[in-house]
Structure 1
Amino acid sequence: MAVDGGYADFFGPQVPRTDDGGQTATFALASAAYRDSELADIKKADNEWHQTTLNAGRSWATIFRPNLGEAFSRAVADRMLGSGRKPLIQSFGAEPQVVVEHCLAANGIRKARDARLAAVIVLCGLLFLPGMLIWLLGFQIRTTVAKSENKQAGALGTAVLLAIAALAVLFLLKMPFSGFWAWYARAAVVLPVVGWFWAKRICEATARDLRERWDGLLSGSGVGAKVPEAVPSNPNETSAEQLRQSLAKLGAEQQSNSVFYAGPKGILGMGTRWGSWQLAENLTPADPSREIHPFRSWDVVKSIHDQLRMLERGPLNTGGFTKPSIRHWVVTPVGENAKAVSRPEGTDVEAYQVKTHAIQEICNKQQFGAGDRHYLGVQWTLWDGQLVITMLITVTVLHETLRIEVTGHALGPVNPLFTSKPEAPSKEVAKSFKPWETRKVMLPLVTASEVVRLAVRAPLTWYPPLLNWLGGTIGLPEPFGLRHAWADQPWRHRFMADDALRAAAPVLRVVHAASIKVLEENGVDTEKFGSRSAFLSTAVQDPTPGKADLYNA
Structure 2
Amino acid sequence: MTQLDMTPGAQVPRTDVGPQTAVTSALSSAAYRDGTFRELEEKLGAKLKNGRFELFRPSAGEAFSRAVIDRTLPAKRNPLVPSFGTDVRMVVEHCLAANDLRHARDRQLALVTVVCGLLFLPGALVWLAAFQVRAQLKKTHPAREGFYGTLALLAACGLALLFAIRPPVDGPWSLYFRLMMLAPVVGWFVARRICLRSTIDLRTRWQSLLEGGAVAATVPQAVPRDDLDRKATDLRASLERLTSEQETNIHHYAGRKGLLGAGMRWVAVEMNEDLRPAAGHADFRTFHRWDLARKIAERLGSVAASEVPGGDMPHVSVAHWVVQDIPEGADEIGRPSTPEMDGYRMRDFGIQQIANRQTIGTDTDTNVAAQLVLHNGQVVATVTVKVTVLGRNLRVSVYGHALGPLNGLFTAKPKPKEKSVPKTGKFWEEKTIVLPLIDDDEVVRQAVRAPFHKIPGLLNWLGGSLTLPEPFCLRQAWTDKTWDSRAKSDSVLYSAQPIFNMVQTTTIEFLADHDVDVERFTNRANISRSENQAVRPFKADAYDAG
Alignment TM class, shorter chain as reference: over 0.9
**Which runs of structure 2 are paired with 1:402-413 in the superposition (5 Å)?**
402-413=394-405
User: What's 1:40 paired with?
Assistant: 38
Q: Is the 8 A contact 2:262 2:382 kept in 1?
A: yes
1:387-426 correspondence runs (5 A) = 387-426=379-418
The residue identity in structure 2 corresponding to 1:530 is T
Compute the displacement of 1:366 (Å): 4.1
**Alpha-carbon offset, residue 365 of structure 1:** 0.9
CA distances 1:269-311 after superposition (whole Å, capped 9, x unpaired): 0000000011011111113552211111112112212221221
Task: Within 5 Å, give how 1:149-548 maps onto structure 2.
Answer: 149=141, 151-152=143-144, 154-287=146-279, 289-541=281-533, 546-547=544-545
Aligned counterpart, 1:77:
69
Compute the displacement of 1:508 (Å). Answer: 1.4
The residue type paired with residue 31 of structure 2 is A
CA offsets, 1:147-197, max 9 Å, x none?
A: 455645521220221122123112211223222101111221221111111
Deviation at 1:227, TM superposition (A): 0.6
CA displacement at 1:144 relative to structure 2 = 2.6
Aligned: 1:55 with 2:53: no
TM-superposed deviation, 1:241 = 0.3
The residue matched to 1:375 in structure 2 has which SS? strand
CA contact (8 A) 2:164 2:179 kept: no
Offset of 1:318 from its aligned partner?
4.4
Unaligned runs of 5+ residues in structure 1 are 3-7, 549-553
Task: State the distance in 1 between where 2:12 and 2:406 align.
Answer: 22
1:433 deviates by: 3.0
Q: Does 1:30 align with 2:28?
A: yes
Q: 1:236 and 1:194, CA in 2 relative to 1: closer, same or farther beyond 3 A?
A: same
SS in 1 for 2:436: coil
Compared CA separation, residues 520 and 206, structure 1 to 2 (3 A) = same
3-state SS, counterpart of residue 13 of structure 2: coil
Tell me the alpha carbon deviations over residues 346-401 of structure 1, each in whole angstroms, 9 at most, x when there is no partner. Answer: 21111211101111111111431214211001110010000100111111111000
The CA distance in 2 between the partners of 1:218 and 1:156, in whole Å, is: 39
Alpha-carbon distance in 1 for matches of 2:298, 2:234: 41
**Cα separation, partners in 2 of 1:14 and 1:341, compared to 1, 3 Å:** farther
Q: Deviations over 1:434-468 (max 9, x none)?
A: 33443322211111011111111111222222221
Q: Is the 8 A contact 1:196 1:452 kept in 2?
A: yes
Query: What TM-score, normalized to structure 1?
Result: 0.93
Counterpart code for 2:449: R
Secondary structure at the aligned position of 1:513 is classed as helix
Aligned length: 537
Assess, with a 3 A threshold, how the Cα gap between structure 1 residues 536 and 201 changes in structure 2: closer, same or farther: same
Say which SS state the counterpart of residue 406 (structure 2) adopts: coil
Aligned AA for 1:137? A
State the 1:140 CA deviation: 1.6
Contact 1:277 1:540 survives alignment (8 Å): no
Question: CA 1:45–1:159 in structure 2 vs 1: closer, same or farther (change >3 Å)?
Answer: closer
Against the structure 1 CA distance between its residues 540 and 87, is the aligned structure 2 distance closer, same or farther, given a 3 Å change threshold? Answer: farther
Matched-pair identity in %: 42
Amino acid at match of 2:332: A
The separation in 1 between residues aligned to 2:85 and 2:95, in whole angstroms, is 19
Cα displacement string for residues 457-496 of structure 1 (whole angstroms, at most 9, x for unaligned residues)? 1112222222211211111000001000011111011011
Correspondence for 1:133 = 125
Distance of 1:23 and 1:525 partners within structure 2? 47
- Conserved 8 A contact 2:403-2:476: yes
Match of 1:551 in 2: none
Letter in 2 for 1:54: L
RMSD: 2.1
Code of the residue aligned with 1:40 in structure 2: it is R
Separation in 1 of the partners of 2:138 and 2:504? 66
Q: Which amino acid aligns with 1:322?
A: P
C-alpha distance after superposition, 1:522-547 (max 9, x if no partner): 11111111111111112345788655
Distance 1:180 1:305 in 2: 86
In the alignment, the residues of structure 2 paired with residue 174 and residue 104 of structure 1 have an alpha-carbon distance, to the nearest angstrom, of: 50
Equivalent residue of 2:167, what SS?
coil
Q: CA deviation at 1:80?
A: 0.3
Query: How far did residue 56 of structure 1 move?
Result: 1.0
Checking the alignment, whether the CA contact within 8 Å between 2:55 and 2:445 is kept in structure 1 is yes
Check 1:142–1:44 CA distance in 2 against 1; reply closer, same or farther (3 A cut): closer
CA distance in 2, matches of 1:148, 1:467: 21
Give, in angstroms, the shift of residue 429 of structure 1: 2.0
Equivalent-residue separation in structure 2 for 1:45 and 1:90 (angstroms): 24
State how far apart, in whole Å, the 2-side matches of 1:379 and 1:38 are: 37
Instruction: Check conservation: 2:251, 2:321, Cα contact below 8 A.
Output: yes
Secondary structure in structure 2 of the residue aligned to 1:125: helix
Q: Distance in 2 between matches of 1:31 and 1:541?
A: 43
What amino acid is the match of 1:380? L
**Distance change in 2, residues 1:546/1:349 (3 Å):** farther
Structure 1 residue aligned with 2:537? none
Rounded Cα–Cα distance in structure 1 between residues aligned with 2:431 and 2:143: 21
Distance 1:88 1:10 in 2: 26
